[in-house]
Amino acid sequence: MTALADIEGVLLHRLSLLRLGPADAFETIDGFAGQGKARVVEDLRRRRKPAALVSYAGRTRTSSGESCRFSLFVATESLRGVGEPRTGGEGVPGIHRLLDLVRGSLDGTTLPCGVGLTLISEGHMVDDDRLVVFEQRYEIEEGS
């Protein structure tokens, strides 16, 4: 299996491309080493948003070898209105657009380090009228 640090580095690089050009989606893209919903949310509250954090989520042995999982935590916030984190507003991408951009950039692709990415789940973590956080979980398999 490709080294975890290499996979994380490639994921961060791929997401950083969404920070530039026409996507202009994220203020913060970083790795995260911590467990538990509360720690992720606490960390995201302190960061400039929209934000994406990449975190190693575990490894599974399969009949054909190994696969590992990475979680991507995507967050946005609103300072103006209740609907804005979901749909976006002037100069602020909504969570729907952010999730679509990340999924479009990663799901079903093979990274330069030779691993394939498959989105296995996407779920809501927080929505408190200011902060919205979703988790996308990807399975990474060698030689996909």
CA-to-CA separations, 141 to 14, 65, 121, in angstroms, rounded: 17, 9, 16
Quick: pLDDT tens for 15-61: 999 886 666 789 999 999 877 889 999 999 999 999 999 999 998 88
Question: Distance between the two ends of the chain, CA-based, in angstroms?
Answer: 12
- The CATH classification number of 4-142 equals 3.30.2000.10
Quick: pLDDT tens for 92-126: 778 898 999 999 999 999 988 788 999 999 999 98
Residue 64 has pLDDT above 90, yes or no: no
| Bridge partners for 117 per DSSP | 140
Task: Report the distance separating Cα 43 and Cα 45, nearest Å.
Answer: 5
Q: What pLDDT shows up at residue 32?
A: 94
Tell me the whole-structure pTM to 2 decimals: 0.89
In the chain, % of residues over pLDDT 90: 53
Instruction: Give the model's confidence band at 142: pLDDT under 50 very low, under 70 low, under 90 confident, else very high.
Output: confident
| Per-domain boundaries in the chain | 4-142
